[in-house]
Every structure is written in structure tokens, then in C-alpha cells.
Chain A
């Protein structure tokens, strides 16, 4: 049974964020909509949907531009987290999730999402914006099988290089073994200049 009462609106233990950030959020989102127009597919807003910060869903093609705009113009300099969710069996299968924070602007947070289909799970890499996204994108590739165009070194990170399958997909089996008698070898290509 799914509850649809007032509790589905996420309250916060961190003080009233709508009061603290509400005006800034709405001006930033209207700025985004003005600049990117149709590329902003939808916006989930706290108080209306069950989210704690605004979630801006953008088209896959313009993700990099939106994030660059948010980083350079709106001063979201800090990439707090990068991850994905698997919406199997939905055909729009993977949701990429980018959590941003601004140190300069009262530690305001925002979340950017983009949807990827099962047939073409490819999205632009944001390593050019944040070098720290490297490991996170490798982890998403490892766990979900989402590919990142323009990533300098897209290989598995938590699992072995020889691993078969992407464990955090919803259709991945919960039990079973893959056994490798030898350890992963040193990758000398990584050490070239």
C-alpha cells in the first residue's frame, strides 16, 4: 500500500530549507528554463513533490551544458555526488543523478537528473568539469553499465576487470559466483605519460 497523505512531502531535519533557499531556487530555475528552454524536461519542487531540493530533469544532449552553466554561472562549484538508479522494467531505464552544492551561496543544494533509455545508455562524461567525477562515473559504469562519452579511462572500479554483468541492475541475479584464480594484473598503460 502506498501512502499518499501529507507525509509524502519530505520534511527536513536541517531546518526549513524552503524558507531558507526557496527564493533562490525559484530564480535559479527560471534562469535555467529561460536559458535552456525545452532542454529542461521537468522540475520536481520541494513542497509539491517528495524531494528535499529541486530536481531538474534535463535532456541527455544538454546535460553537460546545463552542468557547466550551473557550475560556472550559478556557482554550484561542488559536485557532492554522482550516481544512477535503475528503473527496470521501465524502458526509460537509467536515471543519472547529480547532486550539487554551492559553497559560495549559503551551501544551497540542487539535483540534476537525466533519463537514459535501455537501448542507448550513453551520457556525456563530466570529467572535464570535475576531475573528481572520474571514479564516480567508473562506478556507475561498473554497477549499471551506463557508458560515458569522453571519459578518459572507463573501466571497472569495484569489481574485477573480468567480471561479467553489472551488479546494481535490477535484473542481476542475487546469488552466484564468478571465480578468478589469478589476481588482476598491473595495467602498465595506466602509468604511461
Chain B
């Protein structure tokens, strides 16, 4: 990969953790309990599914020795909405709204990734303006998702005001998204072969102003939390997941990069115009909670760079592909001509047919590799709509990650790997 990787600046004074220097709780196992207060007794604690520290409806059952987690297992599926089954019984156009509810913190990302997966099967090219618009949307989604991740992680560990700084910028970003598509959370903005609406006049300028404000806020947030002693003690060396474990458990995205795995699909297999913009890929060293936090913080800065580059280069032009199979007919034509009305009716009632074939399309979503494995048999509905949410792999690694650590660190670990129940359960 020809990317220039940046070391996280704030880490320069710190050495990588040596195993001998690990906090003592890592070496504490049942046999070596120094003061056997618990008389060899164990407690089984059930955390979740409806627990404020569990993000969404997740469940972790842990066997505790005092405060140390000896063994645990996790369960999910409490928000299972049968999306993959629905994908087989909805037309490709109808399925767009379901992708909003995958990772609901960055709905735009899922919309666009899904639309691109279907376009890939059909061989549809979208015009330049739509591509730049998609890139801006994807990066805005990445920023707001990372804001929520690091913000909530800090809230879980007691730093409430930090969360509000990010949340304010997030609300402003949602206002920008609302100007695009009229919705804040469940956007449904992308269409197969284009975008639902064009960006309003002057939207790029507003985005640039937001980027400038957000840069200041990021610096402020960095000063507020990164060197905070309590924050460092709660996150450094906590929930370490090294490179080998990351590969074993298919970790992707910021969580893998925090362990030093140099993979970013925007650089590795560039889609959209990511090869035309400049950005760096932040890498961590230790793969602990603190590195995941720092990688996300740095990624926000890089995403803001991408957004401002896109805002500079975006030009006026069409936002819809000319391909008649996928293009939704203009309302002007629908309301005034018979052919337009028939086209509209056929489009929404039966949908368009996707030629037979299959493709696994992977995208660098906020949490990692978001993949759509779509298999088509030439019908207007997919034969198989597999959604590979990055959170599934991350949640799977959680049990190994927290084994032998304090139960309070479970909360830090869960927040730092950013489990989103929507894409976990699908």
C-alpha cells in the first residue's frame, strides 16, 4: 500500500507497553488471587440486554472472581429484523430504506455502499457530481460516527462534557444532511444510479464552514481529554487486542488500525475518487482502548481534510446516471406524458431487473469493512442479500479482549470498539 501513514503525535512521549509493565490485573488469575477474599466462590453476572452500559441490546454473561472477569460469553440478536430475508423479498430500490437501519449512526454510508454494490452488478456509472457528493456524504457520516463513538466511550467512563462538544458538531452535521435529503437520521439519500436530490445552492460553502468549526472543536476536545490522567488510566493497556488476534477475528477499520494493521480500503482498493484526494491513515501501536480512541480522533481530522478537498472540487452537473433501467423518471415527465407515467408505475411496482451474477463489494465504513454480497438471478429482487457488518467480528473478539480484566473495563472495551447493534443484528 503506497499510503503515507502518520504516527499519532500525542503518543510520541510514550513507549509501547511491555508485557512486564502491564498493569497487575492482567497477571491476576484465579490461582494467584493474593487475598482470597472470595473463598473460591464465583459470581455469574448477567449484563444486558437492556443495560445502559450496553450500546443497544447486547448481552454479556460473565463469571467473576471478585471484580475480575474470568470467562464470559456474549449474545446478540435482540434487534434482529431479518434484513437479509427482506432483501430477498423487496426490490433493489425498496431495500434502500432498510440500509439506513444498519449502522444508524452513519446511515449515509450504508445507503451509498448499498447503491454502489448494486451498480457494480449492473454496470451503471454515476456522473461526476454524484461521486463527489457521495464522497462528501460518506466522510460526513464517518465524522459523526466517530464523534458518537469517542463521545459515548468517554461518557461511559465519566467524562460527560467531552461528549457534548462532539455532539454539538454532530447536530450541525445533521442539519447539513437535513438540507440534502430532508431527514436527519434515516436518510435514504442514495439511489441506485444517482442521488435522490441535488445539494441545495451554497451547500458546499456551508460544509466548508462546518469543517472549519469542527477542526477547532477537535483541537479543543483533544486538549480536554487526551492528556487527562483519569482517562489515560482507564484506557491505556485496557482491552488490548494485538495484531495476531485482530487477524484471527477478522478485525477491520479503526480497531485493526489501532493494533498497527495497515489496511484502509479507501487506499487499498480505492473506490469513488479516493485515489484523487490526499489523506493519511493513522495507525496505533498497542491496540488498546486509548489507541482506538486516538485513531478515531485522527481519522476525524483526515475525514475533514477529505471533505474540504471534495467541497473545492465539486462542480455543477447531473446527479443521475443516464441509464434508463435505474433512473427514476422526472416528475415533470410522469405528470405530463403517458409513457412517463407507465415508466414510473413499472419502476415502483415491479422494480428493475439486475442481470445474473454475484459480487462481494467491500467498503471502508466507519467501523471497518462493510460488505454487501449480492447474488442475482436476473430478477428484480436479490437471490441473496448478505450484509457483512464489521461489528459482528468486533463483538466476537470482545470476550477474549476482556478476559482477565476488571468488569469496569468491559464498559471501556465495549465503547471503544464501537458496537452498533443495528449492523450487528441486521
Report which A residues bind B (CB closer than 8 A): 1-5, 7-15, 49-53, 55, 77-81, 83, 85-86, 97, 99, 101, 103, 107, 109, 111, 130-132, 134-136, 139, 143, 157-159, 167-168, 170, 172, 174, 184, 186-188, 190-193
Contacts and interface: CB of A to CB of B under 8 A. Distances in A.
B357 A50 contact: yes
A101 B360 CA distance: 11
B250 A103 contact: no
B183 to A, nearest CB: 25
A8 B355 contact: yes
B383 interface: yes
B343 interface: no
Most buried by A among B70, B75, B268, B272: B75
Contacts, number: 155
B249 to A, nearest CB: 4
Contact of A158 (B77, B356, B369): B77
Interface stretch (B19-27, B79-87, B147-155, B306-314): B79-87
Interface residues of B, number: 65
A8 B357 contact: yes
B254 interface: no
Nearest to A167: B85
B248 A11 contact: no
29 contacts: A1-B378, A9-B123, A13-B119, A13-B272, A13-B361, A14-B271, A15-B275, A51-B357, A51-B358, A51-B359, A52-B359, A55-B358, A80-B360, A80-B371, A101-B362, A103-B247, A107-B268, A130-B248, A130-B250, A132-B250, A134-B396, A158-B80, A158-B425, A158-B426, A167-B82, A174-B89, A190-B61, A191-B62, A191-B63
B261 interface: yes
Contacts of B173: none
Interface string B102-146: 000000000000001001111100000000000000000000000
A132 B116 contact: no
Contacts of B248: 130-132
A14 B270 contact: yes
B270 A10 contact: no
A52 to B, nearest CB: 4
B263 A107 contact: yes
A4 B377 CA distance: 12
Given A1-B353, A85-B375, A158-B76, 5 more contacts: A8-B357, A52-B360, A132-B248, A132-B396, A157-B76
A184 B57 CA distance: 14
A132 B84 CA distance: 21
B94 interface: no
Interface stretch (B281-289, B384-392, B412-420): B384-392
Contacts of A11: 120, 123
Interface of B: 1, 44, 46, 61-63, 70-73, 75-77, 80, 82, 84-85, 88-89, 116, 119-123, 247-250, 261-263, 265, 268-272, 275, 353, 355-362, 369, 371, 373, 375, 377-378, 383-384, 386, 388, 392-393, 395-397, 425-426
A83 to B, nearest CB: 5
A171 to B, nearest CB: 12
A71 to B, nearest CB: 10
Given A10-B120, A50-B357, A81 B388 contact: yes
Nearest to B61: A186
B349 to A, nearest CB: 16
Contacts of B271: 13-14
